[in-house]
Amino acid sequence: MAQATDSSSNGGSKLTSTHYEGTEKLLEVWFGPVQGGTKKDTHDLRNIPRDNLIDKILTPVRCEIVSVSSNEDQTAYVLSESSMFISKRRFILKTCGTTTLLKAIEPLMKLAKDFCEYKVLDIFYSRKNFFRPELQDTPHRTFDNEVAYLDSLFEGGAAYVLGRVNGECWYLYTLDCPSAVMEPDQTLEILMTHLDESTMSLFQNTTGRNVKDTTRESGIATLLPDCDINDFLFEPCGYSMNGLLPNNGYMTIHITPEKEFSYVSFETNAEMENYGELVKRVVSTFNPGRFCLTLFTNKAAKCGSSLDALKEVLLKEYNRQDRQFSEFSNYDLTFAHYIREKRP
């Protein structure tokens, strides 16, 4: 998501006259009951009052709620800088710009304990390398600083870098937890840069545009069936959407359309046996010059191994530069990076 690239601010996020950082920081935390808890009916993150979410979590992170949607499984928030999803045991916060996402963790843990009798079972913090890391605020200027901050909060932390450290790479911090999340869990993320200008024109000069028309004309509306979409256009440019799916599923897309630093992110936890066709649909919709994709799956996931679920991804007009497969205590992960072939 991006607003105007001027000296204004939104939700406290600082924008410069020449750059907006569309690249997001992504936090996913899974919770479980603390020992000795006495009230099972409190075991739900949605018991945290909205005012506390805003004051204790979003204000320190420096973003605001602009739209809300919900179903029986979860509540989804479109933010001034990306999205937040809250279900019974899972908390997801995704923020772009110069937000300070990691400042959400300590107040989140306290709120989860006070209102839900919860403790952290597992955590995933990830991001692609920034376009302009020097514009970030502490502790986000380097991954080393982010790891040091997370290590100060958790025992058994594990930090990884996938991809090329002198090129496109993706950072991950998680916990070495032998038995954290037992229910089926899988997450596909596609992070796209060097976007096609004609495709991005739908998300430029958005003043007066109908957001539903934009969602339909761009092809976003048909990426996943049975998706209840809550979409938002920013002025004068930029787009965000949250989509709710059955069985605690979601899809979220955020678009920074400016040519100099264009960026689109797609993320979903939709259950599938193979993600190849979905990857093709997403890439065809946005037509990036480059993209990274990651697929996390745990041992209970419908698709089995992430490598098996992506092995048939063969995209015309793209060369795969890298593919890496990693296995953790509960999850495995496949990372890949693609670049569009140069045409004669």
The one catalytic residue in 13, 240, 262, 306 is 240
Count of domains for the chain: 1
pLDDT at 4 over 90: no
How far apart CA 229 and CA 282 sit, in angstroms, is 16
Q: Is 116 a catalytic residue?
A: no
228 part of a folded domain = yes
Q: How far apart are CA 107 and CA 83, in angstroms?
A: 18
pLDDT of residue 145: 98
pLDDT tens digits for 251-283? 999 999 999 999 999 999 999 999 999 999 999
In this model, does residue 17 exceed pLDDT 50? no
pLDDT band at 341 (very low <50, low <70, confident <90, very high): confident
Which entry of 28, 83, 227, 254 is annotated as an active-site residue?
254
Please confirm, yes or no, whether 197 is among the known catalytic residues.
Answer: no
Residue from 28, 80, 96, 303 carrying the catalytic annotation: 96
- CATH code of the domain covering residue 230: 3.60.90.10
What is the per-residue pLDDT for 312? Answer: 64
Residue 12 has pLDDT above 50, yes or no: no
User: Is 1 a domain residue?
Assistant: no
pLDDT digits (tens, 9 = 90+) for 31-81: 999 877 677 778 999 999 999 999 999 999 999 999 999 999 999 999 999
Name the pTM for this structure: 0.92
Asked if 295 and 309 count as a contact pair (C-beta separation under 8 A), the reply is yes
In a domain, 4, yes or no: no
Catalytic, 262? Answer no
Question: Is residue 2 in some structural domain?
Answer: no
Give the range among 20-29, 135-144, 334-343 with minimum mean pLDDT: 334-343
Active site residue 21: yes
pLDDT, tens digit, 9 for 90 and up, residues 185-228: 999 999 999 999 999 999 998 888 899 999 999 999 999 988 99
Name the residue type at position 171: Y
Choose, from 21, 168, 189, 267, the residue flagged as catalytic. 21
96 belongs to the catalytic site: yes
Q: Do β-strands 157-163 and 65-70 pair in parallel, antiparallel, or remain unpaired?
A: unpaired
- Of 28, 43, 80, 82, catalytic: 82
- What percent of the chain is modeled with pLDDT above 90? 80
Rounded to an integer, what distance in angstroms lies between the CA atom of residue 250 and that of residue 154? Answer: 28
Quote the domain boundaries for residue 293. Answer: 9-340
Active site residue 82: yes
pLDDT digits (tens, 9 = 90+) for 112-134: 999 999 999 999 999 999 999 99
User: What integer pLDDT is reported at residue 303 of this predicted model?
Assistant: 92
Q: Is the peptide bond before 139 cis (omega within 30 degrees of 0)?
A: yes
| Residue 224 is assigned to a structural domain of this protein | yes
Owner of token pair 């840069």: 193
